[in-house]
Amino acid sequence: MAMLHTVNKSVFERSTLDSCISMAKAGSSILLIEDGVVSAIAGTAAADRISKAMENISFYVLGPDLRARGMSEDRVIDGIKVVDYEGYVDLTTEHDNIQSWL
């Protein structure tokens, strides 16, 4: 059973993403939204941690939220897929259930 986790908090400000990563099962997905999108940027203090988690979890980031914060798609860590709102909806339908981390 594959779960979709959404995380809307910055990895630099809250421990939410780290908790999510520690409890997300292999084969599940994490979608970064709202302030959570800054966690997807390459070359940050958190990037290595996220790259490691990507070995068995699929990562996605919401493009409109990235662009609102002045971050272009080319700054995202390699392997994290940028999705729009339609992609967000697709992810919700493709997974068995959703956990919205707040």
Partner 1 sequence: MADVKKFMYVNRKAPYGTIYALESLEVVLIGAAFDQDVSLAFVDDGVYQLTKDQDTTGVGIKNFSKTYSALGDYEVSKIYVDQESLDERGLTLDDLQHLVWEDEDDDWAEKDSIRVLSRAEMADLFEEQDVVLSF
Residues that bind partner 1 (CB under 8 A): 8, 10, 12-13, 34-36, 38, 41-45, 47, 63-65, 67-72, 75, 84-85
Task: Identify whether the C-beta of residue 61 lies closer than 8 Å to the C-beta of residue 83.
Answer: yes
DSSP state, residue 81: E
Whose Cβ is closer to partner 1: residue 27's or residue 79's? 79
Whose Cβ is closer to partner 1: residue 36's or residue 59's? 36
Angular region, 59: left φ>0, alpha ψ -120 to 50, beta rest: beta
Tell the smallest beta-carbon distance from residue 88 to partner 1 (Å). Answer: 11
DSSP E strands: which ranges in the chain?
3-7, 29-32, 58-62, 81-83, 97-101
Tell the smallest beta-carbon distance from residue 1 to partner 1 (Å). Answer: 30
Whose Cβ is closer to partner 1: residue 30's or residue 35's? 35
